[in-house]
Chain A
């Protein structure tokens, strides 16, 4: 039993629904109690979909349990087939139905429907949403994809985008444009937008582009084995990664000299002098493994931030995230415990969080700006405008999104110089972002005694500390306390504060 307040991922059947909803002419019959229909609103409200997800829930009740839930499941399957006439039927069970062990796969098989029926194993008490999506799509591909002749032009499949994915809608468009520039056609994009007939046609492509390992890796591995299609390992988020992706595509299609200039504004925006103030800003990065790792590379190599924390909530990606964190001199935080992530952020006191919607709220509470880089998604992650994460335009979007929440260069100096201006104070947050100003009361402990040591802050040192702008105050406090603790100093004076400042200024 695990005490959980917020979760980063839903149960595995929500992953299955994301695949079914992304696809066309597919229907999912889910053996589930009535409350599980809440999942529909994720798609109709958060993603603003104009159709109900193609899911029939059996919605069994307590009184059905004693009698015959299996019959209920079979009639739900038949009615769903009659009403929706899908080309492929998915069947599965949610957490409660898993316990009553009705075997949806066997029951549906016995109905003898004239379409492929794919039974899903979604272990609700072990796995989570991303696994559910990955597994569901893999099963569909395994059932339907067959060897076919390769296309005449060089083509690829885009693999991984689903309904309710973080910016999947726009990433598809951006990658299609990028590949077109390289002379590569897109054969099929799946699951998003694909029909079962498209899945049968996957083999026409010369290779696969694995857009999101979280939801497409099993299928890509299978297609590599079964149909001999190589797949790309680089996720093209960021200028460097996009260049690497182009090079990787070049290798695969036998054009190693493929031009790798990425037409993005990010490099110049980052180099322009106005961005100098971004140098060394301490960022904490957390999200799904793929987005966290790509963000870490951009943060360090393309914007010049100092990555002070890196982690992911999906254990499946623990290994590569750990490796990358290690290369940055960090211990990765692999956890789906929201409170643990909050503690890590509070401890590190970063100047910027690159996280999920959950970290956005942590940031709000701690008074730290946050930009969202990954699912779990919120209605705001489906903007009306075009805003991909991948490719050249994705890099532009990322530059704007990350820099926006920060106090800008000259304003930062003014805040430092004139701290007592009653209108222009740091507790108001970035002046260009009034609507998102952090609350006046900060969670930061401002008492005389340090939070976790026995070091005392003398009154004048304490008020000197308050003159430091809020976005670096946490770091200054920590550094000073560490400096004092390392030297056995029990009381922090103004001198200690500035000695520490000089020490860490190296």
Chain B
């Protein structure tokens, strides 16, 4: 099923970099899933009405189940003087914590306006942590659109979390990246079957989960967008494990094998742990891949998941890659996946959306992976699209989700075959 093996390896493929309009979310968007993952955390964005409106609109639907996020909206008076803004923030936090006494971790999240007027949220967080001694841990990170793109919000959050972790000399495996609960449990079962019980998962769901990091911590990322968190772990002395990301049967196997190698798990143990789920995944992928094999796909930059997903679709589903666009290429993380991509693709980093739209129309792929702002306009021009954001909101990692992941790409193609009424928008 793989494409021509003679042309594999994208490590040295020149990267197309164009500077124009970026059609991407800012890092604040990560809060939409982070606030669900971290049960005792609250995310307070210090920003503008735009930030509040984004959070409300970003998921395409409003989430009304008592959100654990809010915006402290800056007003004209706050822009006047810095001291004023600090006092105002203190008052706002007091108001918030009295409403939500269950909150153990409070994230003060920087935004474009708070960064531009230079509100020192780091110092504020420190001060507030002292004020609410032992009751609430106040941490700062930035989700601003001038510094972060979409999933980089989680990266910045995790970086801040890691910075605050206590030191340990214990030998342990740490897995970085927020995963859906069911997926995380599957992962821990797999690791446990490999004999690895002492696993730290970050971000941790509750503040009182024992979590520490140090020179005997070996860590691996479950998400490809965690460049800053990765670097912070290295600064803390932890040792990175490089591997392709755990998408599909091959990706998951390679990811687990890299961990096994680092921890000296023998091959028989590894094979015993993965044989059954791997076989299930391969069989399930084969069924779904019938729709995908030989079809072409084009990625707009969105979540940084593009390169690992392109690897899965090309290597395991037989899809033909045209352009793989990603907001940012962090080679320490996606290097192993890049090595497995065909070398004749267009690899683009950053964006000039108008030029990229010209390219996608030129190329006329069978499927285009793009953000919500572009999907319907491209459908109206005759392309089939897959919303990229769904890939961040769905369980897609590891063996048991491998076919579901392929299914996310197959569905728009199957749907196009089902509909007999044309499409005039």
Contacts and interface: CB of A to CB of B under 8 A. Distances in A.
Contacts of A58: 21
A199 interface: no
B300 interface: no
Given A1-B78, A2-B73, A49-B376, A36 B145 contact: yes
Contacts of A13: 50
B52 interface: yes
Interface of B: 20-29, 46, 48-50, 52-54, 56-58, 60-62, 64, 67, 70-76, 78-79, 85, 88-89, 91-92, 95-96, 112-113, 115-117, 144-147, 149, 354, 371-377, 379-380, 425
Contact of A5 (B23, B70, B145): B70
Given A3-B72, A6-B56, A7-B53, A44 B373 contact: yes
28 contacts: A5-B70, A6-B52, A6-B56, A7-B53, A9-B49, A35-B25, A36-B50, A36-B145, A37-B21, A37-B373, A38-B25, A38-B26, A38-B58, A41-B58, A45-B372, A45-B375, A45-B376, A46-B60, A48-B425, A57-B21, A57-B22, A61-B147, A62-B147, A76-B21, A96-B113, A124-B50, A125-B79, A378-B62
A64 B56 CA distance: 28
Interface of A: 1-7, 9-11, 13-14, 33-38, 40-42, 44-46, 48-52, 56-62, 64-65, 76, 79, 83, 94-96, 99-100, 123-126, 128, 357-358, 361, 364-365, 378-379
Contacts of B92: 1, 3
Contacts of B71: 3-5
Contacts of A379: 60-61
Smallest CB-CB A-B distances: 3 pairs? A35-B26, A35-B145, A40-B373
Contacts of B58: 38, 41
A1 B76 contact: no
Contact of B73 (A4, A46, A56): A4
A52 B50 contact: no
A365 B66 CA distance: 10
Nearest to A100: B116
Given A35-B112, A61-B147, A11 B21 contact: no
Contact of A37 (B23, B112, B113, B146): B23
A1 B73 contact: yes
Nearest to A64: B146
A7 B354 CA distance: 31
A226 B342 CA distance: 65
Contacts of A51: 377, 380
A7 B75 contact: no
B113 A59 contact: no
A50 B49 CA distance: 27
Most buried by B among A1, A5, A35, A60: A35
Contacts of A10: 49-50, 53, 57
A1 B119 CA distance: 13
Contacts of A128: 49
Nearest to A51: B377
A52 B29 CA distance: 21
A34 B48 contact: no
B22 A96 contact: no
A4 B89 contact: no
B62 A357 contact: yes
Contacts of A76: 21
Contacts of A125: 48, 74-76, 78-79
A353 to B, nearest CB: 14
Given A4-B52, A41-B373, 12 more contacts: A1-B78, A33-B146, A34-B149, A35-B145, A37-B21, A38-B373, A40-B372, A56-B21, A79-B354, A83-B354, A96-B48, A100-B116
Contacts of A94: 50
